[in-house]
Each structure stands twice: as C-alpha cells, then as structure tokens.
C-alpha cells in the first residue's frame, strides 16, 4: 500500500532566508522508486526531510496521495509519518545504550498497544534477515555497517508504505550493499512501496525506476526518467 | 463528608492523606504516560548521563534526608523528654522558675534551689488525695552519677517496681540506676557537690553500699544513685527528719520539727481532679506547684513555632534544590535534543517525547526522595543515639506519618513542577534537532 | 507537622461549613448534668454521638499524651478548691484522636468528639472519669 507523490513549487529556506531547496515540480507514481544524487551540500537530505514533513520551513505543496502534508498541523504530520513513512537517516541515529532489537523496534514504544508485538516481531525478522544476530548487546559496540543495518531494520519495522533512505548503503561493503539494494527493491516491487533513496552508490541508483540530480537545491534533470 | 472523615481512625486518616497527597503525581504520571511503553528508553537516557544523574539524586537525597531527619528528630525529642517526665505528675518546689525546677527535679540538672520546710511537706503528704509525696535531696555525687535522697516509695514508683536486688532498709544502703557503673554489693563514698567542683572528702569518707539496681527507665535517673533521704540529711550533719526517739526510722512519716527541708516534693494524686486541686492549693507565696507535662507542653508549643519556621525553611531549601535539579535537567536535555528529534522524526507524538523528559525527572526525584528517606532515617537514628548518650534521655526517632506526608507532598509538588523542564521537548524544530 | 492542618483542611474542603455547624450545636458543660449531678437528658440523648463542646484546656498532666481536661473557666482560677469530694461538674475528660498540642489555659477551644458516659478508668494513669469526649479534635 502506498500513494503517489506530487510536489509543486516547494521552497525550503534557511533561518536566514537563503534558499536551500527549490522544487517547481516533482511527480512520482505509487510504488515507484526514485534515486536522488548530487554533490555534498546540494540539498538532498533537505529534500528528504521536506518529503517526510519534518521541515517547518517548507513552502508550496507536497501531496502524498490526497494528503497535503504542508497543510497539516505538526501533530497530524507526526501521525502521518508514524503511519506511512519509514526513514533511514544518513548517520543512523541509534540509541547507543539500547540493543539492536530495542533500537529496531523503537516505534513500538509509542505505537498503540495492539500493534506493539507485531512491530517487534517485524523488527526482529528484519534484523535476522539483515544478518544482525546480537539482539541484546548495546549498539554502541556495533560496527558502522551493523549500525546501518539496524537503522534499516528500524525503518522497515512499521511496514510503512513510503521508504525515505538517506545514503542507506554508505557504510556497507559491496556485498552487503548489494544485498540490501536487492532487498529494498524487492520490497518496493512486491509490496507496492514507494522508495526514495539518496545515494552516491551507482548500484543503488541503477536499480531505481527514476533518478534525479540535485545541485544547489535545484533539480537538474527533472525528467531524468529511465526506462524501468 | 466531614463527619465521615472525623469518624475515621487516625491511622486511616493518615493513610488517606498519603493517598491524597501522592494522587496528583500518580494522575499526572498516568496522563503523561498513558498508552506508551517508554521505560527502556528512559533507562537508556538515565544510564547515558549516570554521573550527572547520580549527583542530582544525591542532592535531592541530602535535602530530603535533612528535612525528614529533622522532623523525625524533633518528634523523637519531644516524645523522649515527655516520657522522661512521665513519672512526675505534680512537682512542688519553692517559688522560682518552673523550667529550672523541672530541669532539676525531672532531668536532674544541678541547680541552686531553695528548700521547702517540714510543715509544707506534712501538708502535702497528709492531703487525703495524695498517694505519693516524695522529697528529693540533691547535691552530692559519685563520679558522673548524681546522688538523690528520697523515699523507697518514690524509687519503686520511678522504676515501676523493677528493682534487682532489694530496696534499702538501712542508712548506708543505696539503689542505683541502670546506667551507673556500680554493681550490687559495691561500696562508694559520695562527694559533696557535682561535677569538677565536687569535694571528695567533705563527708568524712563514710562508705555506702549498693543493695539494689533499678531497671532502665530511659531517663537521666538511670545515671542516678538513690539513697534514703535520711542518709543525705545525715551526711550533711542535719537532723534526719525523725524525732530522736525514732532516730532509726527510714522513710515517712517525717516529723516537721526535725525536717531539714527538701528542694522538691514529687506528688502523685489518686484522682485526676485532685492534681488540679493540689496544684492550686500549693501555688502560694512560699510554694510553687506545677505539672512538668504542662511545662514541657508549653515548651513544645514555643519550639513548635520555631520548628514550623525550620520545616518551612527546609521545605524551601528542598524545593530550591529540586528546582535547580530540574533546571539542570532542562540544560541536560540539550544534550539529547538529537535523540528527541529522532523520536519525533520516527513519528513519536510530542506527548511521548514530553513523557520521556518528564519521566526522566520524575525518576530522579523519586529515587532521590527514596534515598533521602533512608538518609533521614540514618541521620535521625545517629542523632538520637548521640542525644541519648549525652542526656541519658532515651530518644528514638523512627519515621512517622508526618514525614511520609511530607515526602508524598514533596514528590507530588516536584513531579508537577517537572512538567516545566519537560516542555524542552518542544524547544527546537525537528530538522534543527536532527542536524545538531 | 507544619502542614498537617492545612492538609486536613484541603482534605475536608469544607472548613467553613464545619465552623458554622460548630457554632450552632455547641454544648455547655453544665448542660450535661442535672442539679444532683446525674446525667441530664441532653447528655443521655447525645451519648455515643459526635458533639461540640467549648471550654479551656487545663494545663495537662502529661506532655505528648492524647488526654486533657476541658474546663468551663480558665484554669488560673481554681474550680475545685472548695469542693474536692465530688467529681466537679464543670470539667470534662477529653481523649483526643492525635497527640495533644498544648493550648494556653486562657485560650478558648472548641472540642469535637464522641460523648461517652459512665465511669472509666484510664489504663495509663489510673484516673477515673465519669464523662468523656473521645476520638476528639479541637481548635
Ligand atoms: N538550518 C540551516 N541553515 C543554513 N544552512 C543550512 C541549514 N540546514 C542545511 N543547510 C545547508 O543546506 C545545504 C543542503 O544541506 P543538505 O544536508 O540537504 O545537503 P546534502 O545534499 O544532504 O549533503 P550531503 O551529501 O553532504 O549529505 C548545505 O549547504 C547545508 O549547509
Ligand atoms: Mg545529506
């Protein structure tokens, strides 16, 4: 289950008013995967944050299906994220003092009681699938690659329809990266999810349905669609 | 409603009050945490800042401990001194300060007190409602023990009859308090006066013998050596209270003509109202009568005002400490802005993040208060021991209901206050938090 | 402790109502007896009930006890110097719910508690009382 994305005239400015991101138009069908590339500082993370409804400063229109994200209150946006979006952050953002399973199933802490056990089971299954076996050991002793996989498992734990991934393979070796790429793509294909991934990884970009390039906050090849 | 409350036993009222006082904290906790399972996360954050948290807990514990220790100690002192005066219903002395006389008669503090004559004693002892009228003769000592001359009836009254060995039957015999170093069968020579100024050879070295030992009373009398008052009069070269033809008699009745005087008469009446009648009767220009219980009660009332001021001060100090701890938390929460932003990015409602911060503070407060209680109990116990050792008044200061109420009130107040630093959850935008 | 009273008041929430009621139903000590010192009808009808009585706290015999004597007049003037034979009819034994805090003998207090009639020997002091207020509080 997922929905289409439609961005129109979206502008994100910094506190001082500098334009960090300006997207006149971006359309994405449901269940399509999109790769975003661009040099460092181009605004890739900024775009992902905006699409997740995290940015207070975004103007214009970001529609997920019938939901106009920018028109929602903060609380409603949070609800939307909890229900629809799984995020993988560029620097993982794990709780060092918690174990792999507790990190991966973090959303269970605030999920409705009825969803908690399903969420934990899913998180555990994801970890196993990604080859993380030490479930209890606190993640501060994990390697970069292991931490990244825990972060991925967390993003997948709520079985969200939309996956937003910021450099999901940056810390993985080639084999692990390829496995993860195959995995994510399969998820998108089989379960009808939308995947938007920021990456410099050619393998990942190659597996995406579409690719855009960002430079200085502008989309360079808005119609850079590639045949699927 | 009021009638219902009044009809409840004190215990039930106390418990109800605890519940009532802790209720705000419980309600807030329930509302804030409803539907969430944040404890592993709170544990993780607490562990991350364990040193700072340890310090916070210690600060709260010390301030709470001081408050509780003080309250318990004050009540312990009151109860201890009141119990020490329990055997002294009515005291008749020469006019003067009731407090001085009470300190001398009940707590055996040496002081210069004028004497009552034989006629006064006879009037009291002969009163129809008087069950016991005991003269007390102070002034001599043996080592750290004051020597008190009195009657056998008083020694029995004082010790509730718990006398090991036997009561004195002759001039040279003594009954000692439980804490005196003398054993039954020991001999000793009394010194004139007490303390460093005592003259050791003043009484010509007449040796007295211990024949009995009283059970512990938890009062300064445990340190005392009791003699027949005749002996005390005799060693001072005075008449011995009896006409020459009854020269060998020990104990009442005394002959007013041969009664050298006594500074204090301890009276016990056989009817409640008679205590009041006797008291009125012996408040004259030559005698003073008072209830040590009243003197103490009045003292407690005056001290109670001071105590109120002190408890208010400790409460304020305690609140200030707790407030600065909460402020510290507010500052500390800067350090986990990123984690909080992450939670919100993952779809955690603002109330969840709020709940994390609030619980963090609440845990520190409750743990601090719990440690504080233990600290307070230890402090009160140690202080009680010191006071008991110094004064021989048995003081014990267990935690009572007022301390529990105080704690419950403190916890409720502070958990309510810690809603404020939890507002830090909403300080920064999510993206700014994620980038920090 | 300092705030017990305040807590109690919060707990009761209607301190004012209590005070109003108190003024209406207050009983005079002498109303409890007939001329011949037998119990009055009023006393008998109120036995076992919670009543209000006002008076003065006689200087207590014991500190930290749950007992005191309520007198009609301040204790400075001796009420029984002349009559020492009978139980005087203008004093009343009060057994309190909580430890007595001594009130000066010349301050009027209002006692609220359960009326008990009949001789009773105090197990601690051995003193006998004919009439008592038990489970009492005062202000
Ligand atoms: N609050 C802000 N105020 C000013 N500038 C900001 C702010 N947030 C981000 N920027 C700037 O916006 C630009 C885009 O940042 P963003 O993190 O989106 O880059 P990116 O494309 O993800 O880069 P990278 O590949 O290094 O992660 C950067 O130059 C960054 O310094
Ligand atoms: Mg980035």
A98-111 pLDDT tens trace: 999 999 999 999 99
**B129, C84: Cβ pair inside 8 Å?**
yes
Residue C24 predicted with pLDDT over 70: no
For the segment B151-189, what is each residue's pLDDT rounded down to a tens digit? 999 999 999 989 999 999 888 899 999 999 999 999 998
A64 DSSP β-pair partners: A5, A67
We find that the CATH architecture of domain A28-48+86-219 is: 3-Layer(aba) Sandwich (3.40)
The rounded distance, in Å, linking the Cα atoms of C48 and C56 is 22
Is B434 in contact with A89 (Cβ distance < 8 A)? yes
- In a shared domain, residues B183 and B244: yes
User: Which of B348, B352, B431 shows the shortest C-beta gap to A49?
Assistant: B431
All residues at 6 or more sequence positions from A65 whose CB lies less than 8 Å from its CB, including other chains: A3, A4, A30
pLDDT mean over A70-84: 92
Same domain for B242 and B102, yes or no, is: yes
How far is residue B96's CA from residue B114's CA, in Å, rounded to a whole number?
9
Closest listed residue to residue A219, CA positions, set A26, A7, A6 = A26
Question: Pick from C14, C80, C97: which is nearest to B277 by CB?
Answer: C80
Does position B51 have pLDDT exceeding 70, yes or no? yes
Separation of CA B46 and ligand 1 centre (Å): 32
Per DSSP, helices labelled H in B191-336 are 229-235, 272-281, 292-332
- Within this chain, do residues B78 and B202 fall inside the same structural domain, yes or no? no
pTM of the model: 0.82
| B345-368 residue pLDDT tens | 999 998 999 999 999 999 999 999
Q: What confidence score (pLDDT) does residue C15 get?
A: 40
Residue of C13, C63, C137 with shortest CB distance to B297: C63
CA of A196 to the centre of ligand 1 (A): 18
Q: Where are the domains of chain A?
A: 28-48+86-219
B interface mutation test: which of A95, A147, A166 has the most B CBs within 10 A?
A95
Q: How many independent structural domains does chain B possess?
A: 2
Structure confidence at residue A36 (pLDDT): 95
Task: Give the span between the Cα atoms of B380 and B398, in whole angstroms.
Answer: 8
Among A33-47, B191-205, B290-304, the range scoring the smallest mean pLDDT is B191-205
Q: Directed axis angle between helix B401-417 and helix C4-12, to 10°?
A: 70
In a domain, B47, yes or no: yes
Highest mean pLDDT among A70-84, B204-218, B302-316: A70-84
Chain B: residues touching A (Cβ < 8 Å): 35-38, 40-41, 43-45, 47-48, 338-339, 342-350, 352, 429-431, 434
Residue C8 has pLDDT above 50, yes or no: no
Residue B204 has pLDDT above 80, yes or no: no
Are B96 and B63 part of one and the same domain?
Answer: no
The fold adopted by the segment(s) C4-138 is OB fold (Dihydrolipoamide Acetyltransferase, E2P) (2.40.50)
Cis bond leading into A226, ω under 30°? no
Contact across the interface for B348 and A78, Cβ inside 8 Å: yes
Q: Please give the average per-residue pLDDT across A151-155, as a whole number.
A: 94
Nearest ligand 1 atom to the CA of A44 is: 21
Same domain? For B285 and B222 the reply is: yes
- Does ipTM exceed 0.85? yes
From B55's Cα to the closest Cα of chain A, the distance in A is: 20
Q: Take residue B22 and report the two structure tokens written for it.
A: 């802790």
Taking only the tens place, the pLDDT of each residue in B123-144 is: 888 888 899 999 998 888 888 8
CA distance B336 to chain A (A): 10
pLDDT level of residue C44 (50, 70, 90 thresholds)? confident
* Residue B149 belongs to a domain: yes
The arithmetic mean of pLDDT across residues A133-144, rounded, is 90
Kindly report the average pLDDT of chain B as a whole number. 88
Q: Taking residues A182-199, report their average pLDDT.
A: 89
**Rounded percentage of chain A residues whose pLDDT exceeds 90:** 72
Domain span holding position B192: 90-290
Yes or no: say if C47 and B37 are a contact pair by the CB < 8 Å rule: no
Q: Nearest bound ligand to CA A16?
A: 1
The per-residue pLDDT for C76 is: 57
* Cα–Cα nearest to B228, from B140, B162, B137: B137
| pLDDT score of B355 | 92
Please judge whether A81 and B347 are an interchain contact, meaning their C-beta atoms are less than 8 angstroms apart. Answer: yes
Residue B18 has a pLDDT of: 94
Q: What is the pLDDT of residue C20?
A: 42
Distance from CA of B66 to the nearest CA of C (A): 15
Buried b (16+ CB within 10 A) or exposed e, B246-278: eeebbbbebbeebbbbbbbbbbbbebbbbbbbb
For the segment B237-277, what is each residue's pLDDT rounded down to a tens digit? 787 778 777 777 888 888 888 888 899 999 998 877 788 88
Do B57 and B174 lie in one domain? The reply is no
Tell me whether chains A and B touch (3+ CB pairs under 8 A).
Answer: yes
Cross-chain Cβ contact C7/B90 below 8 Å:
no
* Closest ligand 1 atom to A47 CA: 18
Tens digit of each residue's pLDDT (9 = 90 or more) over B354-412: 999 999 999 999 999 999 999 999 999 999 999 998 888 898 888 889 889 989 998 99
Measured distance CA(B323)–CA(B54) in Å, rounded: 16
Q: Measure A46 CA to ligand 1 centroid, in angstroms.
A: 6
B98 within some domain: yes
Residue B3 has what pLDDT? 77
Q: Which residues of C touch B312 (CB under 8 A)?
A: 2
Ion ligand 2 residues within 5 Å by Cβ: A 45, 90
Flag if A89 and B346 touch (Cβ within 8 Å): no
- The kind and range of the H/E element at A218 are strand A218-219
Domain locations in chain C as residue ranges: 4-138
């Amino acid at each position: 289950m997922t929905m289409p994305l439609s961005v129109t005239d979206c502008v994100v400015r910094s506190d001082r008013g500098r334009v960090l991101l300006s997207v006149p138009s971006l359309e994405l069908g449901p269940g399509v995967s999109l790769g975003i590339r661009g040099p460092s500082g181009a605004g890739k993370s900024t775009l992902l944050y905006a699409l997740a409804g995290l940015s207070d400063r975004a103007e214009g229109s970001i529609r997920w299906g019938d939901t106009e994200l920018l028109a929602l209150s903060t609380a409603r946006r949070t609800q939307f994220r909890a229900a629809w979006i799984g995020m993988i952050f560029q620097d993982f953002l794990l709780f060092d003092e918690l174990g792999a399973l507790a990190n991966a199933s973090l959303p269970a802490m605030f999920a409705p009681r009825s969803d908690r056990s399903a969420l934990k089971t899913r998180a555990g299954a994801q970890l196993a699938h990604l080859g993380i076996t030490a479930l209890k050991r606190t993640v501060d002793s994990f390697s970069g690659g292991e931490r990244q996989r825990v972060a991925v498992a967390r993003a997948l734990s709520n079985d969200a329809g939309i996956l937003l991934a910021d450099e999901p393979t940056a810390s993985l070796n080639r084999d692990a990266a390829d496995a993860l790429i195959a995995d994510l793509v399969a998820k998108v294909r089989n379960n009808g999810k939308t995947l938007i991934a920021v990456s410099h990884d050619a393998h990942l970009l190659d597996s995406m349905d579409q690719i855009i390039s960002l430079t200085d906050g502008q989309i360079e090849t808005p119609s850079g669609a590639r045949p699927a | 409603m009021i009638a219902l409350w009044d009809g409840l036993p004190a215990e039930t009222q106390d418990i109800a009050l605890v519940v009532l006082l802790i209720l705000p904290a419980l309600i807030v906790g329930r509302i804030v945490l409803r539907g969430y399972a944040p404890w592993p996360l709170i544990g993780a954050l607490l562990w991350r800042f364990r040193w700072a948290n340890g310090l916070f807990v210690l600060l709260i514990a010390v301030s709470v401990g001081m408050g509780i220790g003080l309250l318990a100690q004050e009540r312990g002192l009151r109860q201890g001194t009141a119990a020490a005066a329990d055997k002294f219903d009515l005291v008749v002395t020469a006019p003067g300060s009731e407090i001085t006389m009470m300190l001398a008669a009940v707590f055996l503090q040496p002081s210069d007190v004028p004497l009552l004559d034989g006629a006064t004693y006879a009037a009291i002892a002969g009163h129809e409602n008087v069950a016991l009228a005991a003269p007390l003769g102070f002034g001599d000592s043996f080592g750290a023990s004051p020597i008190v001359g009195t009657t056998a009836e008083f020694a029995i009254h004082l010790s509730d009859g718990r006398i090991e060995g036997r009561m004195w039957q002759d001039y040279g015999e003594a009954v000692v308090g439980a804490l005196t170093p003398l054993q039954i069968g020991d001999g000793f020579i009394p010194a004139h006066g007490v303390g460093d100024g005592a003259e050791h050879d003043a009484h010509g070295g007449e040796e007295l013998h211990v024949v009995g030992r009283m059970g512990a009373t938890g009062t300064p009398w445990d340190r005392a050596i009791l003699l027949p008052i005749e002996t005390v009069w005799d060693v001072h070269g005075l008449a011995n209270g009896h006409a020459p033809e009854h020269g060998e008699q020990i104990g009442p009745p005394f002959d007013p003509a041969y009664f050298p005087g006594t500074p204090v008469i301890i009276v016990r009446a056989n009817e409640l109202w008679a205590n009041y009648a006797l008291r009125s009767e012996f408040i004259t220009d030559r005698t003073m009568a008072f209830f040590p219980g009243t003197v103490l009660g009045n003292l407690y009332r005056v001290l109670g005002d001071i105590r109120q001021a002190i408890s208010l001060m400790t409460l304020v100090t305690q609140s200030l400490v707790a407030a600065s701890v909460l402020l510290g938390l507010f500052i500390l929460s800067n350090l986990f802005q990123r984690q909080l932003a992450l939670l919100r990015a993952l779809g955690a409602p603002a109330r969840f993040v709020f709940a994390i911060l609030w619980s963090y503070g609440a845990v520190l407060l409750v743990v601090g208060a719990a440690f504080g209680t233990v600290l307070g109990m230890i402090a009160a116990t140690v202080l009680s021991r010191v006071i008991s050792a110094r004064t021989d008044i048995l003081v014990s200061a267990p935690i009572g209901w007022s301390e529990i109420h105080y704690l419950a009130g403190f916890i409720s107040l502070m958990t309510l206050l810690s809603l404020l630093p939890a507002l830090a959850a909403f300080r920064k935008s999510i993206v700014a938090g994620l980038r920090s | 402790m300092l705030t017990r009273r305040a807590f109690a008041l919060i707990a009761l929430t209607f301190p004012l109502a209590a005070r109003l009621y108190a003024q209406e139903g207050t009983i005079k000590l002498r109303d409890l007896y007939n001329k011949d010192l037998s119990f009055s009808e009023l006393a008998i009808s109120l036995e076992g009930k919670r009543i209000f009585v006002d008076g003065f706290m006689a200087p207590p015999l014991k500190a930290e006890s749950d007992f005191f004597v309520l007198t009609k007049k301040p204790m400075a003037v001796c009420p029984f110097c002349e009559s020492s034979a009978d139980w005087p009819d203008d004093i009343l034994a009060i057994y309190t719910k909580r430890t007595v805090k001594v009130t000066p003998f010349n301050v009027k207090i209002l006692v609220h508690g359960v009326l008990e009639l009949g001789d009773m020997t105090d197990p601690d002091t051995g003193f006998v009382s004919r009439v008592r207020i038990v489970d009492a509080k005062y202000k």
